[in-house]
A and B are shown apart, each in its own frame.
Chain A
Amino acid sequence: MFKWFKKLASPQYFYQISGTISNWFLGLFLLFLTIGLYWGFFIAPIDYQQGNAYRIMFIHVPAAWMSMFVYLVMGFYAIIHLVWKIKLTDVVVNVSASIGAGFTIIALITGSIWGKPMWGTWWVWDARLTSELILLFLYLGYIALYNAFDNYKVASKMSNVLILVGLVNIPIIHYSVKWWNTLHQGASVSVTNKPTMDADMFIALLLMSFAFKFFYGYLLLYKSKTEVLIREQNKGWVKEEVSKC
């Protein structure tokens, strides 16, 4: 098990297996997306308070979850890169940033669109919304800082430190609805308690969450392959792979 794990840290081996795995992720993304959208629009009932508007939840909530999850992945791999200097970990951090920023933008915009009919406003400076906006700034800040340096080793070090500093924002986003009096509603889904929503709504939400996860996995592996080719371009195996394309 440990040998396979060690092998996975090899850019060449990673490049070879990630193509197959990313295709599976793409297939699973499309499958879960189709079933999730069908369940969310045709099986889940109308909400007695919000009518059909609540169906925005099926993209807003998974996008918000993914915005935090991707940042946690970046934080985890940033620590490993800073401590053990494994090359691929920096590739994962670098490639995840734009995907995480995309999810955060989706969460913010769909939340704003949902807020207008429900709260009567496009935006409020409440804890949850503000901390999610700060998360977007962290993603954009990472991308800007990384691209500010010519030497990618220096760029990695500086920008990974920024990621670690920003990790404090994740529990703030998560617990903001508990710690402060916010307009944003509290958690309807929790690891320890039964969900407070209809079962069909919850199933659709879970299906869409898995779809978004597989989308992240697909795009992460696809982009990582390109990044690995750039970083390992002086190695012989890269010339062989490029000549095949």
Chain B
Amino acid sequence: MLEFDKYASYIFSSYLITTIVFIVLIITAVSFKKQTLKKLKIKFAREK
């Protein structure tokens, strides 16, 4: 069973950093997709 002890800050910071890295990876993937779709739409609109 979890009890708060002297290691709580170490555990918290580890999980926080992991969460941040995961979020950064997802955000970069989503924004890359949005930028790509935007560029392709502009490109195909010009070709018409």
Contacts and interface: CB of A to CB of B under 8 A. Distances in A.
Contacts of A51: 5-7
B37 A245 contact: yes
Interface stretch (A6-14, A112-120, A136-144): A112-120
A219 B29 CA distance: 8
Interface in A21-73: 41-42, 45-46, 50-53, 55-56, 59-60, 63
Interface string B12-24: 0111011001101
A242 B29 contact: no
Contact of A233 (B7, B24, B43): B43
Interface stretch (A78-86, A149-157, A185-193, A223-231): A223-231
B40 A56 contact: no
A166 interface: no
Interface stretch (A97-105, A126-134, A174-182): A97-105
A52 B5 contact: yes
Contacts, number: 84
A233 B37 CA distance: 11
Count class of interface residues, chain A: 35 or more
A42 B14 contact: no
Nearest to A242: B40
A53 B8 CA distance: 7
Contact of A242 (B11, B25, B37): B37
A52 B26 contact: no
14 contacts: A46-B1, A52-B7, A53-B11, A55-B11, A56-B14, A59-B18, A105-B21, A110-B14, A114-B10, A114-B14, A222-B33, A223-B29, A239-B44, A242-B37
Interface of A: 41-42, 45-46, 50-53, 55-56, 59-60, 63, 98-99, 102, 105-106, 109-110, 113-114, 116-117, 215, 219, 222-223, 225-226, 229-230, 233, 238-239, 242-243, 245
